[in-house]
């Protein structure tokens, strides 16, 4: 990615959550996992992350998760498979910065309160799944 002042600001704006992602990437390395940079995003998988993501509070756990400019995943194939989806979340962090996490949970709460899936019907996940070409079914 080009290094422009706008790109630098996007990294700074998302940096509070990226710092948490870097700690998670360290867990991958401690457990024998891998860490690499792809298109300006740190991708970490394996090690302790695999067990952690399996326990995520969605059915079957999570294949991958984004924290700022860090994507953590169960395995390299899972990161490769979810890359378009997770890159949408990276862009969302760049827009929302430190407000992304509270806004994400607020969107989940609104979806749940309306009788929909807290996860699949939240604004942020619908946008990310659209990048995958997946239409998320909404409960009427």
Q: What is the DSSP string of 69-123?
A: TEEEESSHHHHHHHHHHHHHHHHHHHHHGGGHHHHHHHHHHHHHHTTS-TTTTSH
- The 3-state DSSP class for residue 67 equals strand
- Residue that is written with structure tokens 């079914």 in the block: 137
CA-wise closest residue to 46 among 62, 61, 28 = 28
User: Where is 18: in which H helix or E strand?
Assistant: helix 5-30
- The three-point CA angle 50-53-57 to 5° equals 155
Give the pLDDT confidence of 50-65 residue by residue, as tens digits: 989 999 888 889 999 9
Q: How confident is the model at residue 135 (pLDDT cuts 50, 70, 90)?
A: low
CA-wise closest residue to 14 among 124, 92, 123 = 92
pLDDT for the residue numbered 132 = 76
- Identify the residue with better confidence: 134 or 110: 110
**What is the rounded CA–CA span in Å between residue 126 and residue 43?**
22
Q: Where are the domains of the chain?
A: 5-132
Q: Identify the weakest region by mean pLDDT among 3-7, 35-39, 118-122.
A: 3-7
**What average pLDDT is seen over the chain?**
91
């Amino acid at each position: 990615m080009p290094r422009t002042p706008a790109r630098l600001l996007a990294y700074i704006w998302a940096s509070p959550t990226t710092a948490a992602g870097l700690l998670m990437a360290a867990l991958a390395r401690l457990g024998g996992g891998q860490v690499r940079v792809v298109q300006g995003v740190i991708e970490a998988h394996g090690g302790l992350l695999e067990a952690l993501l399996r326990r995520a509070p969605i059915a079957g756990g999570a294949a991958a998760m984004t924290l700022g400019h860090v994507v953590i995943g169960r395995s390299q194939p899972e990161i490769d498979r979810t890359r378009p989806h997770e890159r949408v979340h990276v862009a969302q962090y760049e827009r929302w910065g430190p407000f992304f996490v509270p806004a994400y949970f607020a969107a989940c709460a609104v979806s749940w309160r309306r009788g929909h899936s807290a996860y699949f019907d939240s604004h942020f996940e619908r946008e990310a799944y659209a990048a995958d070409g997946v239409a998320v079914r909404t409960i009427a």
